[in-house]
């Protein structure tokens, strides 16, 4: 029998399946939105135009201001467009950049939004929001940062390069892995995180081998939704990856992919139950090395150096990481952070779990 635990149900209505993007107008009406702005990045303008056209008279046009790291300038531009076009809601289209900005705007403007998901980032299902980058950025945790509706249409992910999908899939994998041993984990989160890991571990190589496999995208997107929705608090992996990618302006998802195996190998001695689950779901005695090898199989960068982290600033990165306080199942020192960063910088295979 499970021990006592607490689990809160998310507020978002999820619509999942091939072709579900066409249901957005009906979902907008259900949510009480009558004047809707479409928010996207410049790279998703064509899809945004199609969505705006589908909204018909309810469309308030397109705002292509979404960029990484949620800069204040983009935030101000979106708020200005919402007011100028008299919108009573908006829809964010894309992945982490669009949803990160959407969440900050939704909290500040007290305005509902919907999400049309095209990557595997999972950002749309987190109530945490942020504005800007680095240790001084604004942020918080607010249910208003969650979309009232999230559309998961696997057919939309087919438009992205396989490497982009692979990287965002490993970002989702990182959420699921850390959720097995986060401070507030529980049986619900652990069971569904294990399911997410299994689906992503099997489907991502299939996408790499056949970029037009709708079935594989369907599995990966469902796994990413599980990872994004049923999660526990972040541990050392996310702290290192987030601080390093912001400090050196590295690709978000690829940084998470590189750091994950090394952070898991470090934590392994302190999380025997989670490691036992991982061994079973990935079918190997060394899950950290299995994740490292999966990165290679997906054709992703294997080191932080490949992503652009300068070796001569490793000490600075360690100092920044140590300023972030939070839970990790294994206590760590600055030397431990330096060790993890050194291995990730070089792209070396992670240490064996027995060490």
SS3 content of the chain, % helix, strand, coil (to 5): 60, 10, 30
Q: Which sign does the torsion angle of CA 138, 257, 165, 232 carry? A: negative
- The pLDDT score that the predictor gives to residue 271 is 97
> Of the ranges 133-137, 160-164, 293-297, which is most confident?
293-297
Domain ranges of the chain: 13-157, 163-346
* 60: helix, strand or coil: strand
Supply the mean pLDDT for the chain: 91
% of the chain surpassing 70 pLDDT: 95
- The pLDDT score that the predictor gives to residue 5 is 58
Does residue 106 have a pLDDT over 80? Answer: yes
- The pLDDT score that the predictor gives to residue 160 is 84
Give the span between the Cα atoms of 21 and 223, in whole angstroms.
Answer: 19
Does residue 2 have a pLDDT over 60? Answer: no
pLDDT tens profile 291-328: 999 999 999 999 999 999 999 999 999 999 999 988 99
Which residues, in sequence order, are bridge partners of residue 92?
A: 39, 115
**C-alpha distances in angstroms, 301 versus 11, 70, 225, 248, 272?**
36, 24, 24, 16, 29
Relative to beta strand 128-131, strand 138-141 is antiparallel
The fold adopted by the segment(s) 163-346 is Dehydroquinate synthase-like, alpha domain (1.20.1090)
Q: Are 289 and 350 in contact (CB under 8 A)?
A: yes
Give the span between the Cα atoms of 141 and 187, in whole angstroms.
Answer: 23
Binned at pLDDT 50, 70 and 90, residue 138 comes out as confident
pLDDT tens profile 21-76: 999 999 999 999 999 999 999 989 999 999 999 999 999 999 999 888 778 899 99
* 110: helix, strand or coil: coil
> How many helices, marked H, and strands, marked E, lie in the chain?
15, 8
> Of the ranges 129-143, 154-168, 253-267, which is most confident?
253-267
Does residue 353 have a pLDDT over 60? Answer: no
Does residue 133 have a pLDDT over 90? Answer: no
Binned at pLDDT 50, 70 and 90, residue 162 comes out as confident
Q: Which sign does the torsion angle of CA 308, 140, 35, 15 carry? A: positive
pLDDT tens profile 109-126: 999 999 999 999 888 998
Residues in the chain: 355
CATH class entry, domain 13-157:
alpha beta
- The pLDDT score that the predictor gives to residue 8 is 65
């Amino acid at each position: 029998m499970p021990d006592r635990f607490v689990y809160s149900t998310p507020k978002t209505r999820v619509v999942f399946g091939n072709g579900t993007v066409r249901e957005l107008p009906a979902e907008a009406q259900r949510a009480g939105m009558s004047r809707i702005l479409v928010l996207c990045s410049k790279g998703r303008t064509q899809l945004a135009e199609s969505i705006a056209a589908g909204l018909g008279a309810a469309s308030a046009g397109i705002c292509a201001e979404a960029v990484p790291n949620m800069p204040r300038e983009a935030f101000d531009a979106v708020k200005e467009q919402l007011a100028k076009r008299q919108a009573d809601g908006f829809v964010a289209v894309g992945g982490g950049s669009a949803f990160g900005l959407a969440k900050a705007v939704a909290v500040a403007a007290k305005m509902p939004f919907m999400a049309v998901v095209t990557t595997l980032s999972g950002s749309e299902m987190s109530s945490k929001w942020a504005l800007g980058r680095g240790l001084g950025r604004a942020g918080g945790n607010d249910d208003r940062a969650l979309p009232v509706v999230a559309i998961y249409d696997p057919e939309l992910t087919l438009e992205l390069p396989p490497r982009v999908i692979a990287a965002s899939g490993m970002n989702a994998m990182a959420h699921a892995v850390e959720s097995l041993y986060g401070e507030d984990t529980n049986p619900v989160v652990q069971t569904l995180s294990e399911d997410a890991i299994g689906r992503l571990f099997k489907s991502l190589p299939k996408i790499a081998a056949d970029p037009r496999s709708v079935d594989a995208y369907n599995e990966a997107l469902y796994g990413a939704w599980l990872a994004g929705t049923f999660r526990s608090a972040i541990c050392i992996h996310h702290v290192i990856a987030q601080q390093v990618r912001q400090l050196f302006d590295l690709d978000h998802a690829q940084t998470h992919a590189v750091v994950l195996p090394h952070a898991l190998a470090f934590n392994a001695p302190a999380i025997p139950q989670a490691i036992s689950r991982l061994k079973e779901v990935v079918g190997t005695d060394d899950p950290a090395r299995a994740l490292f090898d999966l990165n290679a199989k997906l054709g992703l960068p294997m080191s932080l150096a490949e992503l652009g982290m300068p070796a001569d600033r490793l000490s600075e990165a360690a100092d920044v990481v140590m300023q972030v306080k939070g839970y990790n199942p294994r206590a760590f020192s600055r030397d431990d952070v330096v060790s993890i960063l050194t291995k990730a910088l070089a792209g070396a295979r992670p240490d064996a779990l027995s060490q």
